[in-house]
């Protein structure tokens, strides 16, 4: 833990839970899976990355920060970090079953973030992510260079599957001089993802992202 995460555990039980996949519970119901810690770690990671980008890009707007943060915390990025850290070598799961190792390895990474938060607090988790994970295991420059366009990806998916895609504005409001738009992505006239933003374009991107997640394409 100390060499990879820069953290020395106080209660090793939290970390044992973080490395226990639910598939093991079929054989031993006394075990505790990492699902609850994964939920917590996901939120911690999201908060730390949000603050990190907020400080890194003081002049960028909410749309840009949201777009970049989604790349940092995407399943692809998390799984790549977990693979570099070789978490699967210490992960407990039931062998012989059809399991997506990349997914459960990434989930375990998030669970470990949750374990550090529970064991040492937010500052410990923040220090681990900023000083060790981002510097040693995440290709920050590559993440920043890659452009995200969820709307284009969704449009291509709809064309490929011969579906009709359209966006409907659900709400438009101005609070204190700042505009907020809420857009709904509709496929074949059925409601899918909902997104908000300071412009229609940003809201459509957010709606497209949520739609792709609902479709299992992200």
Distance CA 11, CA 120 (A): 9
Q: 3-state class of 134 per DSSP? A: helix
204 in catalytic set: no
187 strand-pairing partners: 165, 190
Nearest to 18 by CA among 5, 39, 34: 34
Q: Which residue is catalytic, options 29, 35, 38, 42?
A: 42
Closest to 212 measured CA to CA, from 148, 160, 153, 163: 153
In the chain, alpha helices (H): 2-5, 12-18, 35-56, 62-72, 75-84, 101-120, 122-128, 140-145, 150-160, 200-214
Which one of 38, 105, 110, 204 is the catalytic residue?
Answer: 110
Token readout for 197 is 């933003």
Give the Å distances, CA to CA, from 88 to 57, 93, 102, 107, 193. Answer: 34, 9, 9, 11, 33
Torsion of CA 51, 56, 59, 61, to 10 degrees: -50
Q: Which residue numbers are catalytic?
A: 42, 110
């Amino acid at each position: 833990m100390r060499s990879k995460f820069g953290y020395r555990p106080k209660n090793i039980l939290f970390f044992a839970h973080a490395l226990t996949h639910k598939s093991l519970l079929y054989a031993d119901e006394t075990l505790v899976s990492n699902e609850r810690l994964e939920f917590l770690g996901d939120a911690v990671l999201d908060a730390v990355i949000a603050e990190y980008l907020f400080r890194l890009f003081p002049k960028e707007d909410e749309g840009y920060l949201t777009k970049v943060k989604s790349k940092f915390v995407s399943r692809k990025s998390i799984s790549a970090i977990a693979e570099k850290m070789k978490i699967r070598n210490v992960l407990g799961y039931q062998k012989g079953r059809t399991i997506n190792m990349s997914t459960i390895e990434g989930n375990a990474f998030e669970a470990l973030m949750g374990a550090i938060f529970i064991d040492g607090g937010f500052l410990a988790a923040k220090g681990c992510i900023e000083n060790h994970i981002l510097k040693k295991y995440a290709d920050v420059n590559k993440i920043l260079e890659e452009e995200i366009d969820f709307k284009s990806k969704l449009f291509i998916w709809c064309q490929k599957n011969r579906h009709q895609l359209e966006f409907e504005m659900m709400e438009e409001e101005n609070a204190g001089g700042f505009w907020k738009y809420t857009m709904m992505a509709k496929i074949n006239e059925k409601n899918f993802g909902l997104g908000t933003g300071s412009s229609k374009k940003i809201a459509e991107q957010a709606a497209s992202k949520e739609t792709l997640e609902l479709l299992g394409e992200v």
